[in-house]
Chains A and B, each alone.
Chain A
Amino acid sequence: MNQPLRESAGADVVELRVPCKAEWVALARLSVAAVASRLQFSIDEIEDVKLAVAEACTNAIQHAQGSETIEITCEALSDGLRVSVRDYGLGTRAEAIRSRELDEERVGGLGVFLIRSLMDDVTYDVHPEAGTRLVMHKRLSA
């Protein structure tokens, strides 16, 4: 978890660090949308990425106890965009990363459900002592 994100050779990388506070989520999502717009994504796909990043940041703000910052790393890959959202919150996050079931009228899990729906690959790396890293990949349409 303390190792830097393994970046793909040759990929352009953009890093952003924002305070783990609600008022900074807009900056985070708009910044990543700007990176996505440099690739060949459609407007709809850029909106997908924007929402997924916002949901990941919101999850960190709501559940990452003690994390002061959120680190966002964007890798412009040949087949799309990989975004890592990392926080330093302590404690288990089982509920925070559990997706909801459709037809449930509960609020919890909607964000994770959206991330998994909008992005192509989503992985969580949860360490109760070191924080959580969410890595999500959006592929360019063929």
Chain B
Amino acid sequence: MDIKVSVREAQGECYVVDLGGEIDVYTSPKVKDAIGELIDRGVYNLVINLENVRYIDSTGLGVLIGGLKRVREHGGSVNLVCTNPQIRKIFDITGLVKIFGIFESEDAAMKALV
């Protein structure tokens, strides 16, 4: 099973976390570490790009919620890029669409952040 995590600096003080593959109980610690390291460095505005994520479960959602809670403590925010209908459906049925900004493109997610 694969998970790909990469981080890149974007405009302003924003960072983009690109995720790809499958996020579950086995792989989510890697995602948690990447997001946690950014927040520890003082990065509080994040775009998390889920375009290449094929699967996410509750542990993956938990990592995203945890990251959002941490950046909010510093006045920051997390926006998501999600184009996969199956992944979007999970955010819909769990009600997480209400707490995350979810966008169809990275540009839109970035603009809403800055």
A residues sitting closer than 8 Å to B (CB atoms) are: 22-23, 25-26, 44, 47, 50-51, 54-55, 57-58, 61-62, 102-103, 105-107, 110-111, 113-114, 117-118
Contact assessment for A107 and B26 in the assembled complex, using a CB-CB cutoff below 8 Å: no
Partner among A58, A102, A106 whose Cβ is within 8 Å of the Cβ of B57:
A58
Is B58 among interface residues, defined by CB-CB distance under 8 A?
A: yes
Q: Which 8 A-B pairs have the closest CB atoms?
A: A107-B62, A110-B58, A102-B95, A111-B58, A22-B26, A26-B1, A58-B25, A22-B25
Knowing A26-B22, A47-B86, A61-B25, the reply to whether A114 touches B1 (Cβ < 8 A) is no
Q: Is B24 an interface residue (CB 8 A)?
A: yes
- Contact A25:B86 (CB < 8 A) given known A54-B57, A103-B98, A117-B93: no
Chain B interface, >50% SS class: helix
Collect the chain A residues with CB atoms within 8 Å of residue B25's CB.
22, 25, 54, 57-58, 61-62
**A22 to B3 alpha-carbon distance, docked (Å):** 14
Q: Report whether B24 and A26 are in contact in the complex, using a CB–CB cutoff of 8 Å.
A: yes
Interface string of B57-75 (1 = CB under 8 A from A): 1110110011011000000
Residue from the set B25, B62, B93 with the largest chain A CB neighbour count within 10 Å: B25
In the complex with contacts A103-B98, A113-B94, A117-B93, A25-B24 CB distance below 8 A: yes
